Amino acid sequence: MAIREILTAPDPRLRRISTPVEVVDDAVRALMDDMVETMYDAKGIGLAAIQVDVPRRVIVMDLAGEDEEPSPIYFVNPEILDPSGETSLYQEGCLSVPEFYEEVERPAKCRVRYLDYNGVETTLDAEGLFATCIQHEMDHLNGVLFIDHLSRLKRDRILRKLKKEQRLAAMA
């Protein structure tokens, strides 16, 4: 397993559309293992493969609390089904938009159908943080970031600050 570099906005590579995985083989499992290690290292709760520069439809997530055993979930080729009309607001962050947190409104419930770590088709009902997180990660597979759900004013302000920080980091 290895920790991979996480791309940060406004890196154009984050805007690519991820392509489906054909078969869940050892190479895909090795990618997912690296993604989980990378996510834990960065103290995140979800990570899409595109964030480590692999434009494939793969997501990892772990919503266990700090005092709980790690319980990673692996999603290959996930699809969101039956998003509820009812919505909820969650303060979202993203490892590719470090240090910024903003409220985003999304369907409060949905189902997610995917292939698991062993390539077995699975369907889960999602609500609460799980529903928010899976929809956020699904957006990544389509080249969308949570800041795209904000007003243009807020989004531009965040992108400007990120660019400035990256310029400063490059000079250091």
Q: Give min distance, CB of 120 to Ni ion, in A.
A: 26
Binding site for Ni ion (CB under 5 A): 94
The answer to whether 59 touches 75, Cβ cutoff 8 Å, is yes
The answer to whether 62 touches 35, Cβ cutoff 8 Å, is no
The answer to whether 61 touches 133, Cβ cutoff 8 Å, is yes
Tracing tokens 């490059």 back to the chain, one arrives at 170
Q: Give min distance, CB of 107 to Ni ion, in A.
A: 17
CB closer to Ni ion out of 94 and 112: 94
CB closer to Ni ion out of 4 and 69: 4
Q: Give min distance, CB of 117 to Ni ion, in A.
A: 21
Q: From the centroid of its chain, how far is CA 9?
A: 13
Q: Cis bond leading into 10, ω under 30°?
A: yes
Residue nearest to Ni ion (CB): 94
Query: Among residues 103, 121, 137, 165, which one is catalytic?
Result: 137
Is position 105 annotated as part of the catalytic site? no
Please give the positions annotated as active site.
137
